[in-house]
Amino acid sequence: MQQLSLSETISEVEQLIESGNGDPGRLYHILEFLKNNKPLYHSDQMYLENKLNSPFSLDEDPIEENDILPKVKELINTGKGDPGRLQHIYDTLSNNKPLYHSDQVYLESKLDTSIQEHIPTESAEITKETKNVPPKVTLEEKKPEPEKIETNQTKEKGAMPKGWSSNDASPELSDIDKTIESEENKIKQQQMISEEITNKKLKLTELISHRKNFEEKISKEKSSLESEILNERIKIESQTKLSEEISQQKNELVKVQKERASIIKKIESEKSTITRDLASQKRQLAQAQLEQEKIEKQVQNEQKMLAKLASEQKIRLVEQAKIAQEIKSKQTELDKAKQDYDDIVSAVNEEKAKFAEAEKLKKSIKIQEQDLIKAKESRLNLINTISKEKEIIAKKTLEEKNRLKSQTDLTKQLRKEEKSYESLKKKREKIEAQIKSKNKKLKERQQKIKKQIAEKDKKLKSLKTSKPVKPKTTKKTVKPKTTKK
């Protein structure tokens, strides 16, 4: 299988988060480590390889230089062609973006060569954008090494000039003390910021655990609602079948009633004919009576059947009324479940807003870290200037010594000046000893801060590795409390 590069793995992880494939909290943690170019834990690496179904590398992608850029720069400097258009072409190529066709033809006409191979495609542009993502600057990476400060301060000692006094170095020491105090204040501020970050990370993990629990509850409620809806549909289908059977039976009843009415009419007509023909048809009368009795028996049987059917219909109507009441009660339960689902959706939206606020805080922390780096660079520049001035003073003292050796008449003055020079040496050594002690104190404080940061990182890792405790499930869904900031 082909190995994925760092930029490709970052884009794949972002797609996994957007599609919801996997644990979002763990994927966000892995994405931060990849963007900061930090080594992943073995468990996270195995988890990501299983999700991507391919191995990946954490090495940064090599940046390819474009050979056309110096040629375009030469055209701009020599004035061959439109400088504005050439500058636009230079900017697009330096940003690794594709050129328009007209610009490509114009540049080929100026260079008398084809530049198709050196122009980036759209896919190259996308990968370049992912490559040029600046890594996050951490506090531990940009801290100055205390050994370098000491080496700049403890350079070669030389003799002071004739009119030098200890009061001349006092403003420089005061400036150094001020810078040290400002650095201490900044370190304290960074400690406060790191504590706030740890608290917010803990809150974020709690919110993620709550969200997962809510998602599990929602999935369970969805499955239960779907099963209830299926049961209700089955019942409604059975009721429709019953209603169709009842309508068929009603139609049959109407047919029977019509037939009975027609039979009664026939009997009445036959009775009228019998009364008319009493005298002439006595024999036929006996046969008619027998037929009439048979018909009456049939009518009685039919009446009994109709009474049974009516009673059965009444029982069925009572059962349907009970079923309708049950349907109403289940509809009210469904409405309650919908309200609970809406409450859960609102809680999830609140959590998303809190995640956006956390990202804003991360950006402000980055800005503060950049300000701290600038302050440290200015402090290093001041130390370099002090060391240069010390070297100049040492050179001047050597020149003064050479001049004093050539002058034999001024030996007495030299002795006096040497005594004063020794006193100045002692004073300077005292000042350097004070600076060393202050530097040692700063070292100790920095080591303490590093230890505190390491302990906090260990606690955070232990909290991330430990499984979140699931709260007890209740019938009513509880909204998560909004944290005041």
Examine the pLDDT at 197 and tell me if it is beyond 50: yes
Q: What is the mean pLDDT of residues 253-273?
A: 84
Crossing angle of helices 282-406 and 146-153, rounded to 10°:
20
pLDDT of residue 288: 67
More confident residue, 222 or 468: 222
The whole-number pLDDT of residue 432 equals 83
Q: 469 in a domain, yes or no?
A: yes
pLDDT score at 143? 37
pLDDT of residue 73: 85
H or E stretch including 367?
Answer: helix 282-406
In this prediction, residues 101-121 reach a mean pLDDT of 75
Of 97-106, 404-413, 433-442, 475-484, where does mean pLDDT reach its minimum? 475-484
Evaluate if pTM is beyond 0.75. Answer: no
pLDDT band at 118 (very low <50, low <70, confident <90, very high): low
Are 44 and 142 contained in the same domain?
no
Mean pLDDT of the chain: 76
pLDDT value for 395: 86
Q: Are residues 202 and 305 in the same domain?
A: yes
- Using the Cα atoms of residue 236, residue 239, residue 245 and residue 248 in order, give the sign of their dihedral: negative
Of 36, 52, 68, the last residue of a domain is 52
**Number of domains comprising the chain:** 2
In contact, 408 and 208? CB cutoff 8 Å: no
User: Torsions phi, psi of 56, nearest 5?
Assistant: -145, 160
CA distance 158 to 203: 59
> Could you report how far apart the first and last alpha carbons of the chain are, in Å?
48
Name, of 139-143, 402-406, 440-444, 471-475, the range with top average pLDDT: 440-444
Compute how many other C-beta atoms are within 10 angstroms of the C-beta atom of residue 388. Answer: 12
Q: What is the pLDDT of residue 115?
A: 67
pLDDT more than 70, % of the chain: 80
* Mean predicted confidence (pLDDT) in 244-249: 85
Q: Is residue 110 a part of any domain in this protein? A: no
pLDDT (0 to 100) of residue 74: 86
Q: Do 40 and 151 fall into the same domain?
A: no
Q: Please enumerate in sequence order all residues whose Cβ is within 8 A of that of 159, keeping only pairs 6 or more positions apart, or say none.
A: 394, 397, 398, 400, 401, 421
Note whether 149 and 383 are within 8 A (CB): yes
In Å, what is the CA distance from 181 to each residue of 175, 188, 348? 10, 11, 46
Single-letter residue type at 110: K
Answer yes or no: do 44 and 149 share one domain.
no
Does residue 365 sit in helix, strand or coil? helix
pLDDT on residue 137:
35
Given a cut of 70, is residue 119 above it in pLDDT?
no
Examine the domain organization and report whether 158 and 271 are in the same domain: yes
3-class secondary-structure state, position 53: coil
For residue 128, what are its two tokens? 């370049």
Contacts of 380 (CB under 8 A, 6+ apart): 144, 149
Q: Is the pLDDT of residue 148 over 70?
A: no
Cα–Cα nearest to 235, from 171, 371, 329, 98: 329
Q: Which of residues 301 and 164 earns the better pLDDT score? A: 301
Residue 430 maps to a domain: yes
| pLDDT exceeds 70 at position 469 | no
Residues 6+ apart with CB under 8 A from 346: 479
Residue 226: inside a domain, yes or no? yes
Flag whether pLDDT at 138 surpasses 60: no
Residue 476: what pLDDT?
Answer: 45
Residue 116: per-residue pLDDT: 62
Do 258 and 155 share a domain, yes or no? yes
For the chain, the 3-state helix, strand and coil shares in percent, each to the nearest 5, are 80, 0, 20
**Which structural domain, as residue segments, surrounds residue 43?**
6-52
Residue 57 located in a structural domain:
no
Gap between the Cα atoms of 45 and 39, Å rounded: 9
**Closest to 211 in 3D by CA, of 9, 8, 374, 355:** 355
Helix axes 6-19, 122-131, angle to 10 degrees: 90
Tell me, yes or no, whether 63 lies in a domain. Answer: no
Tell whether 67 is covered by a domain.
no
The per-residue pLDDT for 404 is: 66
**Residue 128 domain-assigned?**
no
Q: Please, how many CA atoms are within 13 Å of residue 231, restricted to the half-sphere of its CB?
A: 11
